[in-house]
């Protein structure tokens, strides 16, 4: 089966610019996660979706970050405006209801804010 697809793979922007990341989960996976991974650290949850509903966004910095998952399939994570501290790898993961404890991760988007 096709894995979790993320794009772009790399993104370099100047601070205060907007940026968006896209994720296509594995077909049929109802749960979708966005994680942020800083250099040398483990992934930190930003938001979790069950179908199209954001069920856990307590870690999402809502002043500049937004996310959506229209129709419960693809998802977009946006930062506006970006700050230097947002430089990180943004990971998308998905899981299915019958195997909900196994996360399938995409390759991530590496963001550099200059």
Q: Which pair of structure tokens corresponds to residue 28?
A: 């049929």
Cα-only R_g, the chain: 13
Residues 26-65 touching other proteins, rule: CB under 8 A, are 31, 33, 40-45, 48, 56
Contacts of other proteins in 84-103 (CB under 8 A): 91, 93, 100-103
Q: Is 10 in the site for other proteins (CB under 8 A)?
A: no
30 conformational bin, left if phi > 0, alpha if psi -120 to 50, beta if neither: alpha
Q: Which of 4, 67, 79, 88 binds other proteins (CB under 8 A)?
A: 4
Number of chain residues interacting with other proteins (CB under 8 A): 23
């Amino acid at each position: 089966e096709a894995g979790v697809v993320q794009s772009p793979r790399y993104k370099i922007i100047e601070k205060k610019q907007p940026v968006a990341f896209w994720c296509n989960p594995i077909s049929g996976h109802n749960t979708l996660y966005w994680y942020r991974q800083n250099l040398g650290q483990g992934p930190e949850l930003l938001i979790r979706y069950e179908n199209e509903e954001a069920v856990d966004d307590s870690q999402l910095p809502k002043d500049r970050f937004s996310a959506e998952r229209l129709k419960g399939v693809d998802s977009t994570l946006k930062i506006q405006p970006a700050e230097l501290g947002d430089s990180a790898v943004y990971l998308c993961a998905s899981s299915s209801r019958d195997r909900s404890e196994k996360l399938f991760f995409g390759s991530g988007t590496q963001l550099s804010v200059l």
